[in-house]
Amino acid sequence: MKALLKLIPYIRPHARWIFASFLLAIPLAALRFSPAPFIKYLIDDLLATRDTSKLLLFPALFIALFAVNFVVRFLHFYMIRVVVARVNQSLKNDLFRHLMGL
């Protein structure tokens, strides 16, 4: 735990990126479980009633759902990777400065 507290000065400048990533984690969790209601709707309403007028709507909604999931997931992981890369580079720079000072 003590070692993790030493990382706070490196993480603090990137608090906005981390906060934005946490905000994207909320819809990402919702999107992860969202295919289940669509499948329930498909089985209960479309297949049971044999309503063919809505049959083309379901694949379009399913594809749109996965497209939104892809975009949100990409942005979430991109923000995390940016923070990790920048903190890693700051640690490397400080280590290099320390070694050059020895």
Within-domain flag for 23:
yes
Q: Which residues span the domain enclosing 78?
A: 16-101
In a domain, 2, yes or no: no
User: Would you say residue 6 lies in a domain?
Assistant: no
User: Is 10 inside any structural domain?
Assistant: no
Phi-psi region of 51 (alpha: psi -120 to 50; beta: other; left: phi over 0): beta
Q: For the whole model, what pTM was predicted?
A: 0.76
Let me know if residue 11 belongs to a domain: no
pLDDT digits (tens, 9 = 90+) for 41-71: 777 777 777 777 777 777 888 899 889 999 9
In a domain, 9, yes or no: no
1, part of any domain: no
In a domain, 82, yes or no: yes
User: How many folded domains does the chain comprise?
Assistant: 1
Q: How far apart are CA 20 and CA 23, in angstroms?
A: 5
